Each structure stands twice: as structure tokens, then as C-alpha cells.
Amino acid sequence: MTLLKLKRLRTCFPTRDGLVKAVNTVDLEIGANEILGLIGETGCGKSILGMSIMRLLQPSTRIEGEIIYKGQDLLKLSEAEMRKIRGKEIAMILQNPATALNPVLTVGDQIAEAIWLHQTMTKREAREKAIEVLRSVKIPSPEKMANECPHKFSGGMKERAMIAIGLACNPALIIADEPTRGLDASTKEQIIKLMKEVTEEKSMLFITHDLDAAAEICDTVAVMYAGELVECAKTGDLFGKPLHPYTMGLLDSLPCRGLKPIRGMSPSLIDYPSGCRFHPRCDYASAICEKKHPEMVKVEDRHYVRCFMYL
């Protein structure tokens, strides 16, 4: 069953240098209980895609297409209706937990606020619920830590607290925007494990550039390049036999596979290269790649790729 469906989603915002086309005609589906990984280089539009779903970009941003969540188009909802979706139906876990917690409020209060923004309950009930959520993300002595301000939390604990805030209202979909950023390897491992546990009965859009993390947690992985999806497949298929040259390049750049970087720089989102957007950096590029823009093709069951090699 499909929980969230993006249909030809386009997000652009005007800047002084020109129109930034951050998300360009993306079609994507997240099923119930599915964890979808969205991977790609920095600046390819991953985070903007997440923010577009929440409709939390600057007012000058234009979002086109459809975002169908549980049968209704989020882009057609009023701001007040959208507020009821945020946090309760779709929760977002922000990157950079160090700044995403208010330094002057206790962590318990910040979790409780997520709860009573959407449910009517007394202060004490919300507090007890907050402690319960903190316990579920394995914060040691949650009763005590709920009374502490964020500066007493370590990086890993702040991330746990962020996850707790996301989980507080039991949303159906979680959008996690690089939750493992800035954490050391062992903490990262724990956070990934925790996220896997808490999202057992939920769907998640897991935005990351950490391929290991994506391989570990996701059911399906979509690869994004310059504002569009270039490959989408089940995790095993994608990492086992990547089809798109960009995906291959990403995998080859991992330390365990030889640390070979992809040549060139990721393109600006204002002026795309002509034809296939990846062709200037592609080792397999031919004449047609420069001229024509490839469409997404189905290669195998649930394995889609945007490349002329498979046409």
C-alpha cells in the first residue's frame, strides 16, 4: 500500500543568480512500513525534497506537481490543515541536532510540546509521555535527563532526543534528514540501530549521503543527482549490481571499494548540463548523452534507471 506518492514534483526558488531548480520532476513512492533511502552528493536537492514534502520552504519557493499522502494532495491543503499534518502524521528529524534543540528549554519540555501541540492532555500527562518516549530511545535515567537543558547532552544523546521528538506523536511517516551527520562511527552505529528499531511499524524517508547507513537500514534506495532521480531499486540490487554510472561511481568512492572519487564537480542547480546531466563526468558517455535527456526506464522488477545504456 502506498503511503506517500510524489508525482512530477518540482521545487524551484528564485535567487539573484537565477532560478534554482532544486528538485526537478521527481516521481517517488513510499509504501507502508517501507524505509526509502535517498542518497546523493551534497547539494543535489535531497534536503529540499524533504522540506518540500513538509511545505516548509521560503514563501518565494514554487512547488509544482503532486504530493499525495494517504490519498490527499498536501500541496492543496491550507496552512492550518498542513500544521495538523506536521509532527502528527509526518515528522521530520533535522540534520545537526546540536542546533535543532532550543538551548533554553529542557529536553523534556521540547518533547512534551510536540505532544500537546496535537493532543489535549494535562501538563503532567505530556511530561510522563515525554519521559516514556525518552526511555524508548534509550536515554539513560530519562526522568532526570528530561529536566536538563540540551547543553548537558552529548552529540549522540541530542540525536536521540531529536528522534524522540519526532516519535512523540507516533507519526506514520518520518523524514530523517541526515540523522547520522557529525556522529562518530560507534555512535552512528547505535543511532542506525535505534532508528531501525523505532521505525519497525512506520515508513521513513531516510535522506543521507552515508551509503553504509543507507545499506543497513533501507528497504529501497533512490539515487538523486542534480535534482532528479537517476536510479531506484531494492537495497540489495542497488548495492549488488548498480546500473547507473553515477551509482557505480558513488560505490567506488567508498573506502572499502578503493576510494576512487568521481571526477569533476557536481553541477550547479541553476544551469544543468545539456542532455544527460551526468554526462560530463561519466566514463561511459557517448554522443547521444550530450544531446538527449534520458527517461527513467524499468530494467528489472522494481529496478529503474535513467541512462541510455539500458534503453
Sole residue written with cell 534509550: 138
Smaller CB distance to other proteins: residue 4 or 85? 85
Near other proteins in 200-259, by CB under 8 A:
none
One of 63, 101, 131, 195 touching other proteins (CB under 8 A): 101
Question: Grid coordinates standing for 220?
Answer: 529501497
Say if residues 170 and 119 touch (Cβ distance below 8 Å): no
CB of 186 to other proteins, least distance (A): 25
Smaller CB distance to other proteins: residue 139 or 238? 139
Smaller CB distance to other proteins: residue 174 or 226? 174
CB of 2 to other proteins, least distance (A): 23
Smaller CB distance to other proteins: residue 173 or 243? 173
Sequence-ordered list of residues with C-beta below 8 angstroms from that of 81, at least 6 positions apart, any chain:
none
User: If binding is defined by CB under 8 A, does position 76 make contact with other proteins?
Assistant: no
Smaller CB distance to other proteins: residue 47 or 208? 47
User: If binding is defined by CB under 8 A, does position 49 make contact with other proteins?
Assistant: no
User: If binding is defined by CB under 8 A, does position 54 make contact with other proteins?
Assistant: yes
One of 7, 83, 138, 293 touching other proteins (CB under 8 A): 83
CB of 79 to other proteins, least distance (A): 9
User: If binding is defined by CB under 8 A, does position 87 make contact with other proteins?
Assistant: yes
CA angle 110, 111, 113 (to 5 degrees): 65
Smaller CB distance to other proteins: residue 165 or 226? 165
User: If binding is defined by CB under 8 A, does position 88 make contact with other proteins?
Assistant: yes
Would you give the binding string for other proteins spanning residues 139-178, x where CB under 8 A is met?
A: ----------x-x----------x--x---x---------
Smaller CB distance to other proteins: residue 68 or 117? 117
Which residues would be at the binding site for other proteins (CB under 8 A)? Answer: 54, 56, 82-88, 91-92, 94, 96, 99-105, 110, 113-114, 117-118, 124, 149, 151, 162, 165, 169
